[in-house]
A and B are shown apart, each in its own frame.
Chain A
Amino acid sequence: MTAQSALAAALERQPPPLGGFSPAIVRLEVRRLLRNRRTMILALVLPVVFFVGFGLNNSYVHQAFGRGNVSAAEMISIALYGAVAATATCGAMVSIERAAGWSRQLRVTPLSPAAYVVIKMLTSLVLAAGAVCAVYLVGAVTNKVSMPADLWVITGLYVWIGSLLFAAFGLFIGYLLPSENVMQIIGLALTLLCFAGGLFIPLSQFSPGLQTFAKFTPVYGLNELVHYPLAGGTLEWSWILNLAVWLAIFVAGAVWRLRRDTARV
């Protein structure tokens, strides 16, 4: 009788709200990230090294760019590089989790695939915030970046939110490629995409043919948009179009692979 009433009570249980999402899981995921040396180097250390090495030389400091100097533009570029590296590697970690059977384990819990993706996005945003803050902090303490105070905040936020595009990219690749090599592939792909998007070298220094090609790559629109508050001038619709199309492609790809992953086994 007691066993029966216990069963009756159990049958009345309700599933957790929000598909099993909880801030405690984001905290644990962030703690995992902090232990991952490779990710920390890629997202936090490398951008700072790049910025100190290439962004703060005297010619950049004394050269004007829009409402600030070239060092400010460099700071935004390298913060964007760090932020997209952070979100993409976070997203791509699903491939390791799939290989470890963790995704399958989670499917025997109330966690919904949508809630899982939200957890991954939030976790990647935490790391991306770290990447942006690290570069901006170096920019602030070295006192070589010149830019109005409000633009520090605005461009920082743009870079941070914009990096979500690459969380979708990372998830897509992570569900597409089922191996631990995915991190090397992501690292290489990001570097190439950042070059093509004009993040390290201005597009104006490319050949005309390469410039046209570059405008169709996924970092281009985002890079132009995050620099816009500093650069000024006209807002090109092609930037927004570029961003929107690539966001749609990455999200659709991630959803497609996620669906397939969930239907499998």
Chain B
Amino acid sequence: MGKNPGSLARPAGRAMQIGRDDAERAALPGRQDRAVPPLAVDLRGVHKSFGSVQAVRGVALAIGSGEVMAFLGPNGAGKTSTIDMILGLSRPDAGAVEVYGMAPRQAVRKGLVSAVMQTGGLLKDLTVAETAQYTASLFAVSRPVGEVLERAGITAIAGRRVGRCSGGEQQRLRFAMALIPDPELLILDEPTQGMDVEGRRGFWQAIREDAASGRTIVFATHYLEEADAYADRIVLISKGQIVADGTAAEVKDLASGRTIRATLPGADETALRAIPGADGVEIRGDTVLIHCGDSDAVARRLLNQTPARDLEITSRGLEDAFLALTGDAAAGPAGESQAAI
């Protein structure tokens, strides 16, 4: 965990960068100018507590129009609490929440934002098509019911009672309902929880096709591979605070950098440790493992100045980054990587 201060510096830097963009925006004389689209989501210093539990502790997050962002974190990290505030389901104790430059509830009323909730939210005694019709009747402007059912891939079960649909079918129905207002921002809270692999793949296929239209998508997940595979940007949240923010590759780098494995008989551990960029060295017989932030520099040094051969450079998985950054050290992989360091 000795590397954490370094890794934490990055998200702070990113946050500052976002802050600067904001300042620039504010400095522009025509702030309302159409040329500068408002942020899809703007959270500033947001706090939320439930009794003595501080669910969200000072979250600042700016999500631009057209981003596909994963909100990644373990259970109880504050993902759903934050999403609830973006949707206007709850109000922050401190700080400000804006969606397209307006109060969240107003954005919902205008049909600019919609959501696919984690569980529930359906009436068993309505059919799939009736549920979509019900939702469509609530909005000023809506996409045709047939079209959204088609896009969610549930046209074939339109006449089925919701109570008789599988978990995956119900989730597709929630997705169809969320598409009805043709929202600019679509929020999905743990959308594939409880789905099998097949269902999950199909669901993401539908989401990805939809994202191609330029919609802003924010999804909460604790499936690392989902965040890695489907998001342009990952925001890692832990204990109510953002601990990392960047692309999947950047987030992986933050926590763990890369590991170089090489064959180097008679390696001198002290000398290897002295290589700039090497964070940890492990010697197993003729094999050395070097954990490093700057793998390029270390590899160059190894190849040029030592008899090291058979170099392998691997990036540690997002899972390791996740565990390292969220501090869930109890789990296996984190324990291993700590031992290695």
Q: Please determine whether A102 and B122 come into contact, CB atoms closer than 8 angstroms.
A: yes
Our pick among A24, A102, A104 for the contact of B89 (Cβ within 8 Å) is A104
B133 A109 Cβ-Cβ under 8 A: no
Chain A count of residues within 8 A CB distance of the other chain: 34
Among A35, A101, A108, the most chain B Cβ lie within 10 Å of the Cβ of A108
A107 on the B face (CB < 8 A): yes
Separation of A111 and B115 alpha carbons in the complex (Å): 15
> Does the CB pair B108–A100 fall under 8 Å?
no
Is A11 a contact partner of B100 (Cβ separation < 8 A)? Answer: yes
When the two chains form their complex, are residues B137 and A100 in contact, meaning their CB atoms are under 8 A apart?
A: no
A16, A22, A31, A101: the one contacting B117 at CB < 8 Å is: A101
**Contact indicator B109/A35 (Cβ below 8 Å):** no
A15–B109 touching, CB < 8 Å: yes
A104 contacts B108, C-beta separation under 8 Å = no
Question: What's the nearest-Cβ distance from chain A to residue B46, in Å?
Answer: 16
Q: Is the CB of B87 within 8 A of A7?
A: no
Cα separation A146 to B38 with both chains bound (whole Å): 71
Task: Give B121-134 as 1s and 0s: 1 = Cβ < 8 Å from A's Cβ atoms.
Answer: 11111100010011
Interface status of A58 (Cβ within 8 A of chain B): no
Q: Which residues of A contact B74 (CB under 8 A)?
A: none
A109 to B125, CA, bound (A): 20
Asked if A234 is an interface residue, CB under 8 A from chain B, the answer is: no
How many B residues touch the partner, as a band? 35 or more
Is B134 touching A25 in the complex (CB atoms < 8 A)?
yes
B120 within 8 A of A: yes
In chain B, positions 1-43 with a C-beta closer than 8 Å to chain A are: 34, 37-38
Say yes or no: is B314 at the interface (Cβ < 8 Å to chain A). Answer: no
Chain A CB within 8 A of B78 CB: no
Q: Which of B138-146, B242-250, B284-292, B331-339 contacts the other chain?
A: B138-146
Contact B84 A265 (CB under 8 A): yes
The answer, among B38, B121, B133, for a CB contact under 8 Å with A28, is: B133
Q: A25-B137, A104-B120, A105-B120 are in contact. List 20 more A-B contacts (CB 8 A).
A: A4-B34, A4-B65, A6-B214, A7-B65, A10-B184, A11-B110, A13-B112, A15-B110, A24-B137, A25-B134, A35-B125, A100-B121, A100-B124, A101-B122, A102-B123, A107-B89, A108-B108, A109-B114, A110-B140, A265-B84
17 contacts between A and B (CB under 8 A): A3-B65, A3-B214, A4-B34, A4-B37, A10-B182, A13-B112, A15-B109, A24-B137, A25-B134, A35-B125, A36-B125, A100-B120, A102-B123, A105-B121, A108-B108, A109-B114, A110-B110
The 4 closest A-B pairs by CB, nearest first: A101-B120, A105-B121, A15-B109, A16-B140
A residues adjacent to B (C-beta < 8 A): 3-4, 6-8, 10-11, 13-17, 20, 22, 24-25, 28, 31-32, 35-36, 97, 100-102, 104-111, 265
Tell me the B residues contacting A by CB distance below 8 Å. 34, 37-38, 65-66, 84, 87-90, 100, 106, 108-112, 114-115, 117, 119-126, 130, 133-135, 137-141, 177, 182, 184, 214
